[in-house]
Amino acid sequence: MPRPHLYLLAALLVAFGISHYSDRIDPYYLDVIIGIGINTILAVSLNLVNGYTGQFSLGHAGFMSVGAYLAAAVSLFLGPRLLGEEGGTAIQQGLLFLGALTAGGLGAALAGLLVGVPSLRLKGDYLALVTLGFGEIIRVIFQNVEFLGGALGLNGIPAYTSIFWVLAFVALSVFTVTCLVNSTYGRGFLATKDDEVASEAVGLNTTRYKIVAFVIGAFFAGAAGGLYGHFKMTITPTGFDFTKSIEIVVMVILGGMGNTLGVILAAILLTLLPEVLRPIAEYRMIIYSLLLIILMIMRPQGLFNFKLGKVKS
């Protein structure tokens, strides 16, 4: 992709343009679009770990919760002090929100580093279980911290999330992942996935690649968590359980692991599907699980992956 920075700039301008006219869009559609955006950030960032680097993580919701809690804590506890009683101007709020999202992302990235360094020595099934275990441990910890609301979670988070912030972070996550993977350095992610032993033999530090992928993935999961918290205005530890991780994993697999465009399409599809299928909502997870099994048996390269000859069994 030539001149990726221009694309990012254009995307940010488009986001700004759309948000300018957002009050003319039906609030229901606006909510759906924000939901799609948050899921896209989660899926694209998980795709860097599970897809491009080939390390199967089941703990993405855990990193999302770290970001959500940290960002919410910044705007709940730090916000009133910085902005004063009045609540500040729109620009001040925007800056505070940016700070909160960055803090949430960095906190999640730190959690990603702490989890990744020990667990990325493991492979396949074990890695999946350890990341799942860490996700559960993070949840149990949040349930036990009184300061963060315990099992009840945090309420009354200011509704800072707007379509602009969501689209901007979607653009940023897609830009980061695409540029990273297509760079000279980033080829190492693909090499790590394709053959770890061969990559090490030609001098790549595969452990470092895995950790870098994990940390960057966790950063965007944290930012998405921050966006989610300031969108729903309330967060609970159980909102970020194993099921949420699975939902993101399904998006990545459906889109075709290591295929950003496909993953974005899958995120859109899987966010719209429950909206359309609301009358049969109780069957949603059954459909997801059947989809997983059938895809793995019939079309393991994903639904939206049309490159032929690249899939090896």
Partner 1 sequence: MSEFLQQLLNGLSLGAIYALIALGYTMVYGVLRFINFAHSDVFMVGAFIGYYIGQKVPQNTIGGGLVVLLGAMLGCALLGMLIERLCYRPLRGAATLNVLITAIGVSLLLEYSGQVFFGATPRTFPSVFPSTNFAFGDLVISSNQVVVIVVTALLMVGLQLIVYRTKIGTAMRAVSLNPKAAQLVGVNNDVVISFTFGLGSALAGAGGILYALNYPSIDPLMGVMPGLKAFVAAVLGGIGNIPGAALGGLLLGTVETFVNGSQWSTYKDAIAFAILIIILLFRPAGLLGKVSVEKV
Residues that bind partner 1 (CB under 8 A): 54, 56, 118-119, 121-122, 124-126, 128-130, 132-134, 136-137, 140-141, 143-144, 197, 242, 246, 249, 253, 282-283, 285-286, 288-293, 296-297, 300, 312-313
User: Mind giving me the DSSP string for 174-196?
Assistant: HHHHHHHHHSTTTHHHHHHHH-H
Find the shortest distance in angstroms from Cβ 270 to partner 1: 14
Nearer Cβ to partner 1 (128/154): 128
Give Cβ neighbours of residue 272 (< 8 Å, ≥ 6 apart): 32, 36
Nearer Cβ to partner 1 (54/158): 54
Q: What is the dihedral of CA 100, 104, 105, 110, to 10 degrees?
A: 140
Cα gap 74→92, rounded to integer Å:
14
Cα gap 164→44, rounded to integer Å:
18
Nearer Cβ to partner 1 (52/160): 52
Nearer Cβ to partner 1 (56/175): 56
Find the shortest distance in angstroms from Cβ 286 to partner 1: 5
Nearer Cβ to partner 1 (161/236): 236
Tokens of 81: 């002090």
Nearer Cβ to partner 1 (39/55): 55
Question: What single-letter amino acid sits at 246?
Answer: I
Nearer Cβ to partner 1 (99/300): 300
Cα gap 272→29, rounded to integer Å:
11
Cα gap 60→101, rounded to integer Å:
17
Nearer Cβ to partner 1 (140/159): 140
Give 3-state DSSP helix, strand, coil % of the chain, rounded to 5. Answer: 80, 0, 20
Cα gap 238→21, rounded to integer Å:
35
Nearer Cβ to partner 1 (90/298): 298
Find the shortest distance in angstroms from Cβ 136 to partner 1: 6
Give Cβ neighbours of residue 198 (< 8 Å, ≥ 6 apart): 191
**Is the Cβ–Cβ distance between 254 and 295 less than 8 Å?**
yes
Find the shortest distance in angstroms from Cβ 222 to partner 1: 21
Tokens of 208: 């470092």
**Cα within 13 Å of Cα(151), Cβ side:** 0
**Is the Cβ–Cβ distance between 153 and 229 less than 8 Å?**
no
Find the shortest distance in angstroms from Cβ 219 to partner 1: 22
Find the shortest distance in angstroms from Cβ 107 to partner 1: 19
Which residue in the block uniquely carries the two structure tokens 């924000």?
A: 34
Find the shortest distance in angstroms from Cβ 184 to partner 1: 26
Question: What single-letter amino acid sits at 241?
Answer: D
Cα gap 78→66, rounded to integer Å:
17
Find the shortest distance in angstroms from Cβ 296 to partner 1: 4
Find the shortest distance in angstroms from Cβ 293 to partner 1: 4
